[in-house]
Amino acid sequence: MSLPRYPTLTIVAFAGLMLLTDVVPALHSYKVMDWNTVPGVLNFIDRKPSATPEAEEQQRLRPDTARQAKYPLDDDEHDLDRFYQALHKAEGKGKGAEARILHYGDSPTTADLITSDARTLLQKQFGDAGHGFCLIAKPWAWYAHRGADVEGHGWTVDPVNQSTIKDGLFGLGGVSFRGGPGATGRVKLSGPHARMEVAYLKQPGGGQLRVFAGEQDLGVVDTEGAKAQSGFASFALPADARQISVQAMSGPVRLFGMMFSKESPGVVYHSLGVNGAYVSVLAKFFNESHWREQLQHYRPHLVIVNYGTNESVYPQFVDYASEKELREIVRRLRAAVPEASILIMSPMDRGQRMATGEIGTVPAIPRLVAIQRRVAADLHCAFFNTFEAMGGMGTMGRWYAAEPRLVGADFIHPMPGGAKIVGSLLYQALLEGYNKYKLRLIQKKTMVAGK
């Protein structure tokens, strides 16, 4: 008995597409099937799941430091002290005391992976001042924020690195949303917030949009302006508000995102991931004056620059362009927000299947990490060695072999358990640095008192 023609052709085409990712090098990152796992499935290997995979992986990766974990954070110039000062005020629970963090990253950050874990830990320690920034709608199907579910329709979506418009006006988060009457964006919050703010573009001929908290009409925003420039409109939220929406009433309107804040002191951690992003996004694709407007409005105490994974498979770019681009990002940040601390955060390990069948590290990753460390030292920025902190060479191979797995079949994107490890490592590094900062404060006061 033979299958009908069209189902047969569909099956053959699908199988062909799966095989292409194995034979075409440029498509290796899009694998949907790891054929090396087939023997284990057919032999029904018993891989018992662990109740605490993250903790076990931490101990397995660093058995030599199980009692005293290492968190490789370089900050010899104490550039993070300006951020720690804001943390210290937030810890003191003074009214309006906030420590504001902008975390720029690539695809894991688009799903609030790593950032959500670091946010949760920091807010538990220092207070929750609000969720922060999120986009109006989903630019990618996997875009997500823990504690803020985003949905929307009717928009022309322009990510900064995939846009047909080349004006560089992409707001804080690197994505622009253009729409006319009926275009809607909604955010469902898991908890109460005191205020929301919508970020948009003022422009000649700009239309109007209306803001709602549930069914309650909060007001109208007019996006008309004499020239293209950043616009922000803030609204107080009812105590029971959980669903916030914006709707274009007349067009055109161009939006960037919403920000949610609380009246309580603490940390605001903005997760700003762009799918497929690399250093050129901030160094070239963002219009510098527009990005400066955005940065100065959000007034960060700490900006985390977390790129490298995507460019790591282009060794010529790593060796000849990445350093120049990273230096340009730091220059732009220092020009826009000189009072902010800057933390260059290296990429995670990126795995690839070796000729032996083992999963090794992409060769350019260690060189890229070394470049980033050198730039950080030269430009007096802090540097967090994510690659070393998570275990160094071959980590993704070990993560892929773990049960449950801590990384996907592309050996790039962490599963939630793997992301939790990296977010926790970042938090521990910042906390350790903060405690050293407080110790220096005590020592300084003691020296002054002793004179």
Task: Give the pLDDT score at 65.
Answer: 38
Q: Name every residue whose Cβ is closer than 8 Å to that of residue 125 and which is 6 or more positions away in sequence.
A: 91, 431
Kindly state whether residues 308 and 413 are assigned to the same domain. yes
Kindly state whether residues 120 and 159 are assigned to the same domain. no
- pLDDT, one tens digit per residue, over 325-340 is 999 999 999 999 999 9
- How many CB atoms are located within 10 Å of the residue 402 CB? 21
- How many CB atoms are located within 10 Å of the residue 362 CB? 20
Cut 0.75: pTM above it: yes
Whole-angstrom CA distances from 383 to 73, 306, 406 are 6, 10, 24
Residue 382: strand pairing partners: 343
Task: Give the pLDDT score at 354.
Answer: 93
Report DSSP letters for 310-347, one per residue.
GGGG-HHHHHHTHHHHHHHHHHHHHHH-TTSEEEEEPP
Whole-angstrom CA distances from 328 to 8, 308, 339, 369, 371 are 53, 15, 17, 17, 14
Kindly state whether residues 329 and 444 are assigned to the same domain. yes
Q: 238 versus 94: which is more confidently predicted?
A: 238
Task: Give the pLDDT score at 66.
Answer: 40
- Choosing from 229, 263, 297, the residue where a domain stops is 263
Report DSSP letters for 277-293, one per residue.
--THIIIIIS-HHHHHH
Q: For residue 148, give the H/E element and its range.
A: strand 148-153
pLDDT of 221 over the 60 cut:
yes
Task: Give the pLDDT score at 62.
Answer: 45
Q: How many percent of the chain have pLDDT more than 90?
A: 79
Q: 105 versus 10: which is more confidently predicted?
A: 105
pLDDT band at 36 (very low <50, low <70, confident <90, very high): very low
pLDDT of 42 over the 50 cut:
no
pLDDT of 38 over the 70 cut:
no
Chain centroid, CA 234 distance in Å = 24
Task: Give the pLDDT score at 7.
Answer: 59
- pLDDT, one tens digit per residue, over 162-219 is 988 989 999 999 999 999 999 999 999 999 999 999 999 999 999 999 999 999 999 9
Mean predicted lDDT score pLDDT of the chain? 89
Q: Which of the residue ranges 24-33, 404-413, 432-441 would you say has the lowest mean pLDDT?
A: 24-33
| Full residue range of the structural domain in which residue 110 is found | 21-129+265-451
Span 47-61, mean pLDDT?
Answer: 53
- pLDDT, one tens digit per residue, over 423-451 is 999 999 999 999 999 999 998 888 777 66
Kindly state whether residues 316 and 425 are assigned to the same domain. yes
- State both tokens at 90: 């937030």
- Choosing from 224, 247, 263, the residue where a domain stops is 263
Kindly state whether residues 313 and 446 are assigned to the same domain. yes
347 occurs within a structural domain: yes
- pLDDT, one tens digit per residue, over 275-284 is 999 999 999 9
Task: Give the pLDDT score at 445.
Answer: 82
Query: What whole-number distance in Å separates Cα of residue 70 and Cα of residue 392?
Result: 12
pLDDT band at 59 (very low <50, low <70, confident <90, very high): low
Kindly state whether residues 257 and 284 are assigned to the same domain. no
- Choosing from 235, 263, 291, the residue where a domain stops is 263
pLDDT of 84 over the 50 cut:
yes
Kindly state whether residues 374 and 348 are assigned to the same domain. yes
Kindly state whether residues 120 and 172 are assigned to the same domain. no
